[in-house]
Structure 1
């Protein structure tokens, strides 16, 4: 095996005799707990790749459905990350990212402050007629246009969030100008929000969004709707973001209300 593969003897580590106990619960949960223990005690190290689904099913003497459910549990707990076309990798103890709900900061800036490398994959962008939600959030008439920007945000190669942003076309006339940080482009144009209102909701991810975030269907994630305003009070940004709850903690500071 090479350095990115499991360094323990797969035959021994994943053999049914190593983890299965009759009457001790569903096989997928037993297998999941066994792999989790191997990660926590260092038998499986961060960055190592699990055997492919078919190979793991053969080694563990279970069905591929059982393997799939076991890996889904590990992904949900943050111990395993699935990368499309590459496989399932050990993430270790699932480092979490804190983001303040009381500070207006971009994803790029937040990752940089934590020493992590952020990347963006543009899923779509362009100028469009506004939807009813965009008209309401941004105070636009049907005759105006909005710039839309949809991106998959990753940190150190792990998908973290999907962000779908809408802005008045006069605020962002060329969505193609955004390479990594939207706020950086807006600051250069003197159109960056000075404040924002956010609403946080728990939702279950499905379909293409689940695939993009490398999560099983119906995994609980965080949806944040943010409307950003200029100091003048004009709304200039409406972003709906979907964030992995296994990696993100959103925090806020509370102070006494003094009359």
Structure 2
């Protein structure tokens, strides 16, 4: 692989059009990936070796690699090096049906897995108290999960519920909606707000992308049939792996 890569990089980056040297090196690496010289999961040579192969400075290599990591073509693993990123299958989710992540992925035949990083009862924030309509002294149950499909991390969900609805959050090990269904508290409708935001270091690390990568932020307030709020969830979805789809109909006044 090293000799084949040398043929793509030697002469540099200088041979690949105009622009700054690091952008030309970036194009050379992209071309090597497109040609299969570097395949998904392959490790990149060290920074020093890349500089020698391309006959450029290590500063140029560092900038080119950083750019490719930010755009998702390469992925850094702490203590292991830099690798060509594995392709991520994009997932579409309808905005017109209220389903759980587990149910939605299962319908697509995808293997679902969750990693919990928070399950407990806490003193509520003022936002949680107002949104959930909590009484004085009432605890809030918080559930924090990394959601994965076919082994790929797709989303980070942070859900808040009344402690009365979920008195033992530490025992939850499956679908939250299934757990709520068992106590007659599964939501029947929800209001969602979608916005864009850049991922911070912590969430980016969980999702396996670079810090500052784009994400879709979904804030959802879910209701029981009685109109009572049962769930307040703030989720971050990988922008490179998730699409939200909504069906629109012409207003009746125009039919």
- TM-score tier after normalising by the smaller chain length: 0.7 to 0.9
- Distance in 2 of aligned mates of 1:20 and 1:228: 56
> Which TM-score applies when normalising by structure 2?
0.83
Which residue is equivalent to 2:106?
112
SS at match of 1:198: strand
Q: TM-score, normalised by structure 1?
A: 0.82
Structure 1 residues 201-216: aligned runs within 5 Å: 201-216=195-210
Which deviations, in whole Å up to 9, do the C-alpha atoms of 1:65-102 show, x marking residues without a partner? 64454344434444444455555444465421111111
Cα RMSD between the aligned structures? 2.8
Q: Deviations over 1:118-165 (max 9, x none)?
A: 322211221011111111221113421110011122233332221111
Provide the aligned length of Structure 1 versus Structure 2.
253
CA drift at 1:203: 1.0
Within-5 A mapping of 1:186-197: 186-197=180-191
Farther-moved stretch of structure 1 (224-233 vs 205-214): 205-214
Q: What are the within-5 Å matches in structure 2 for residues 73-222 of structure 1? A: 73-83=67-77, 87-91=81-85, 94-222=88-216
Consecutive unaligned residues in structure 2, runs of 5 or more? none
After superposing the two structures, state which structure 1 stretch, 116-125 or 73-82, moved more.
73-82
Q: 2:225 aligns with which of 221, 231, 253?
A: 231
Cα deviations by residue, 1:24-74 (Å, 9 ceiling, x for unpaired): 223333333333333333333334343455654554455666445434443
Matched, 1:21 2:15: yes
Pick from 28, 44, 48 the counterpart of residue 34 of structure 1. Answer: 28
Are the equivalent residues in 2 in contact too, given 1:81–1:158 (CA < 8 A)? no
Q: Distance in 2 between matches of 1:153 and 1:205?
A: 16
Which consecutive unaligned segments of at least 5 residues does structure 1 have? Answer: 1-6
